[in-house]
Amino acid sequence: MSARDSLLHRRVFVLPAGNLEEAGSVSGDVRRELTAMGVEQDIIRRAGVVCFEGEMNIAMYSQGGRIILLVADDRVELLFSDRGPGIPDIELARTPGYSTAPDWAREMGFGAGMGIPNMERQSDRLEIRSRLDGGTVIRAVFKRGAE
Amino acid sequence: MNIDLKLEDVARLTEAQVLTGEDQLGRQVTQACAADLLSDVLALVQDEGVLLVTGSMAPQVLRVAEVLGLGGLLFVRGKRPNQSMCDYARDAGLPILMTDLSMFEACGVLYSEGVSGAQRKRFPRDNVR
Ligand SMILES: Nc1ncnc2c1ncn2[C@@H]1O[C@H](COP(=O)(O)OP(=O)(O)OP(=O)(O)O)[C@@H](O)[C@H]1O
Ligand SMILES: [Mg+2]
């Protein structure tokens, strides 16, 4: 975040490895924190969806990571970072329907291959960076007060 | 279309058991979404108060419900959410219904009552690709 003085709130959520049962709970926390800060309803909803998808991907594909929530006057940001296998082909991962989710995950209702496409559509900007056998970093930006 | 259908009507018409949210059966149901894949639900639902028809037993279904502000959940094919899911739903104020009908049959009932499919609005970057 460039203009430091505009930062209103910063919160770090740590996601331990293989915590599938709890996965998805950060999105509820994010929703509550944004609501408490009086952030626009539309952004709360979109950030909740993006957070859920990012969180599930960290839980399903990585060895753990964290999510940072930033709130500023002009924007909300979610930063996802994990230690893990990384994404070999980011362009492919962005394609609706592409999924390498294992069978057990499909049985739980995952693996539509819609997570990253959802994150892209619901944010105003989504940057994905990944290193093979290193991990993945995703930054989602939501612009405030601009419709 | 304006319809007058409440959760209690849905419970009666689908012969569903009410597992949580007994006090919220007066909620109106106008839109529904049927899916087992949670990312599909997240892609389809945009308005608050939508009824989700699902066979997904993942605990995450309730988190999705919270994030989207769903009006209620109708579990099909006699799938019974476990105690901890019910506790969670109760805390979150989410009504849960459970029917033995299949997804197809449950949707047929809702459809014939005039419930419409969840309307997906445009997202900020729908034209992104
Ligand atoms: N954090 C990550 N680390 C490694 N690979 C990932 C990560 N996130 C996503 N991927 C890869 O990108 C693919 C597409 O992800 P996406 O979230 O779009 O769909 P999905 O997780 O397979 O299914 P859904 O999100 O619809 O349940 C995944 O199947 C996986 O191969
Ligand atoms: Mg995913």
Q: Is B69 left (phi over 0), alpha (psi -120 to 50) or beta?
A: left
- Asked if the C-beta of A118 comes within 8 angstroms of chain B's C-beta atoms, the answer is yes
Is the CB of residue A94 less than 8 Å from the CB of residue B125?
Answer: no
Contact assignment for A121 to B123 by CB distance below 8 Å: yes
Indicate the pLDDT class of residue A22, thresholds 50, 70 and 90: confident
- Which fold does the domain B7-119 belong to in CATH? 3.40.1390
Bigger pLDDT: A105 vs B30: B30
pLDDT tens across B10-32, in order? 999 999 999 999 999 999 999 99
CATH of A7-143, one of 3.40.50.720, 3.30.565.10, 3.50.50.60, 3.30.420.130: 3.30.565.10
* Domain locations in chain A as residue ranges: 7-143
How far is residue B120 CA from its own chain's centroid?
Answer: 15
- A-chain CB neighbours of B69 within 8 Å are 45
Contact assignment for A31 to B42 by CB distance below 8 Å: no
Helix axis angle for B60-68 and B83-92, nearest 10°, is 10
Cβ–ligand 1 distance for A115 under 6 Å, the answer yes
pLDDT tens across A50-93, in order? 999 999 999 999 999 999 999 999 999 999 999 999 999 999 99
Please tell me the distance in Å from B49's CA to the nearest CA on chain A.
13
- Asked if the C-beta of B120 comes within 8 angstroms of chain A's C-beta atoms, the answer is no
Contact assignment for B129 to A124 by CB distance below 8 Å: no
Please tell me the distance in Å from A135's CA to the nearest CA on chain B.
22
Is the CB of residue A65 less than 8 Å from the CB of residue A84?
Answer: yes
Q: Is the pLDDT of residue B97 over 90?
A: yes
Can you tell me the ipTM of this complex? Answer: 0.83
* Domain locations in chain B as residue ranges: 7-119
| CA dist., res. B36 & res. B62, Å (int) | 13
Give A41's contacts (C-beta < 8 A, 6+ positions apart). none
